Chain A
């Protein structure tokens, strides 16, 4: 019998075991437990937001079989990430895979610890979605996510952790939140207890731009201001109902999502140039970005 298949088989089992020393069970909901990943040796655990239904009475089971109480540090429903602080120490920190080292077609294993033992499923990286501007790094896979796998890692063939698995962001699709997003979110949660997001105070919807303007700006759509909240940063900055926003600080705004991603936590307190179309002419208005509560 050829050894290649046995070697492949053993290599995958070793990758699971290697990552497994950093995978914990998270008990934070009434239904079955889910999984989590050691974020720091002194007890920080990263898991999926949607599996943490309780804010209190959270417990984690560690790879050595012991259990510890844990407190919720913070959660971010947008990326489906939550950080817990477990009353323990001496945990094994995993190796995190570089987001750029992951390629479509690579083998990957989803690993969970919904029970006492590790469980895994195999698949490939189906697609990557990397958006450095707003720190959004996701990997889509065809791994099967069993109950309790959310919050556990997607593991590379070397045992490095590619990302945090969640079945909670898109129905029927297995996504892994990759390392740069996890770092960005975890840093914010640890510093502020939540994700800080910029606030303008406008309601918008995407609209087609007139032909000449579309050609001049090199974009087909912008977002039409449908409402302006009283005493909001937008009102103070002079944005009006009927303005069409096409860029923020030089970054194109073609959709509502573009506008949201241009208002990351780093923009809070800064004055940004909002480029609008008013009366058929483009102009810039200066808006001091507030913080969404």
Chain B
């Protein structure tokens, strides 16, 4: 039997994940570790607001193992987004994808640290995109989400979701059950950073 196609697929999955993990960080908040995503090479990190809520003395552990103190420079409870700054430069970043163009059935992968398992991957397909998702419609009407058919767990929060090309399309944020993950679309994150920090800071 010719397994060449499946081997190619496996290699592609592993290569994509290697690249994504390079921009996944740990956010150590005293009690446990959440995930974060390197947004800009000069030390801008995006995560969920609930990962850093009420925490002082935050540290970020970079993929290369460096542990750096972090400042919260922007925070939005309603969007569940926060931006952190760490004293570093030349960090690896992920190319940004277009979360508005995602279609049901497209491949996605999410990484994070579920239950402290560092850099764990879950993959699946896009269920749907937008504000009309019955599962979250009642939570925050009008707000856009990526609904994902993959196995997100506590500890994935703040980590990146990427498309088949390894481009960032969202930030993991919540689970509503064992089989559906929700992520904040990357265009929502861009809007949050633009409003909080101004334009030149987020140019990539």
Contact = CB atoms under 8 A, between A and B. Distances in A.
Contacts of A15: 105
Contact of B8 (A4, A116, A117, A118): A4
Contact of A5 (B12, B126, B129): B12
Interface stretch (B22-30, B130-138, B195-203): B130-138
Contacts of A118: 104, 128
B166 interface: yes
Contacts of A148: 134
A40 interface: no
B106 A5 contact: no
Given A2-B8, A16-B104, A119 B127 contact: yes
A116 B125 contact: no
B103 A17 contact: yes
Contacts of B104: 13, 16, 111, 117-120
A5 B106 CA distance: 10
A9 B180 contact: no
Interface in A1-56: 1-2, 4-6, 8-10, 12-17, 32
A5 B134 contact: no
Interface in A95-132: 109, 111, 114-122
A120 B127 contact: yes
Interface residues on B, range: 20 to 34
B180 A6 contact: no
Most buried by A among B13, B15, B149, B180: B149
Interface string B117-153: 0000000111111101111000000000001010000
B98 interface: no
A9 B123 CA distance: 12
Contacts of B192: none
A249 to B, nearest CB: 43
Interface in B1-44: 5, 8-9, 11-13, 15-16, 19
B165 interface: yes
A152 B12 CA distance: 32
Nearest to A7: B164
B180 A144 contact: yes
Interface residues of A, number: 30
A120 B125 contact: yes
Contact of B128 (A2, A6, A9, A117): A117
Contacts of A77: none
B147 A119 contact: yes
A4 B105 contact: no
Contacts of B105: 9, 12-17, 109, 111, 120, 122
Contact of B107 (A2, A12, A32): A12
Contacts of A147: 134-135
Nearest to A145: B179
A117 B130 contact: yes
A109 B15 CA distance: 25
A240 interface: no
Contacts of B16: 1, 5
A68 B128 CA distance: 24
A16 B164 contact: no
Contacts of A16: 103-105
Contact of A13 (B8, B13, B103, B124): B103
A8 B128 contact: no
Nearest to B137: A115
A5 B132 contact: no
A6 B97 CA distance: 13
Contact of B125 (A2, A115, A122): A122
Interface string B146-185: 0101000000000000011110000000000001100000
Q: What are the 5 tightest A-B residue pairs by CB atom distance, in nearest-first order?
A: A9-B164, A9-B107, A16-B105, A2-B12, A12-B105
23 contacts: A1-B12, A4-B5, A4-B9, A5-B9, A10-B106, A10-B164, A12-B125, A13-B104, A13-B106, A16-B104, A16-B105, A17-B105, A109-B105, A109-B125, A111-B104, A119-B133, A120-B104, A120-B105, A120-B125, A120-B149, A122-B124, A146-B180, A147-B135
